[in-house]
Amino acid sequence: MEAKISNKSLLFRLCSLLMASLFAVSASSQLNDPDWYFWFPLYACGCIVNLVNGLSKFPKMRLRIVAKFSLSLGIFLFIKPSIEDLGNGTGAGLWSLDMRERVVREKLGSGLVVASMFLNLQLPSSRHLPKGQETKVAKLTEHGMLILVGIGYGLSLLCHQKEMKF
């Protein structure tokens, strides 16, 4: 069975629903955050894009605007804690996975949204590729979403096992 871009695979749709649920939980936990006005829209838009892509069989072109906004906001919010980390000297570092640190959790969350939006934006744009490349892009996007689900849920479970710093 060949993967087609216009007809999303079941695996991609399931991964999108899993990412939507992760982003929904993340959005709801931002409501008591001092800078919720940055993080809530990021996770809410990520949730909406993944939810619609998970529930619909065909890509929605209007959703690309929300995905592009979420991608841009995610890039900004990935840079923001990185600069804070350098300025404060918390020692978390760029590649740290110490989930107790706030800046690490913020970089991870924004990175997950950026990666998810990038993968979601690849679907409609690859329709104009030759048939062989279209199938390859579909498979790479599908596997990318699967890896993203593993990273998102794996590190989320790791985060809840340790005492967090705020």
Cβ proximity of 115 and 107 under 8 Å: no
Q: Measuring CA to CA, which residue among 113, 138, 124 is closest to residue 9?
A: 138
For 130, phi then psi, to 5°, come to -60, 160
Percentage of the chain with pLDDT > 90? 41
pLDDT of residue 103: 79
Q: What is the pLDDT of residues 15-29, one digit of tens each?
A: 999 999 999 999 998
- Across the range 47-66, mean pLDDT stands at 86
- Is the model more confident about 42 or about 123? 42
Q: What is the pLDDT of residues 75-113, one digit of tens each?
A: 999 998 888 777 766 555 656 777 777 778 888 899 999
Token pair in block for residue 74: 């995610």
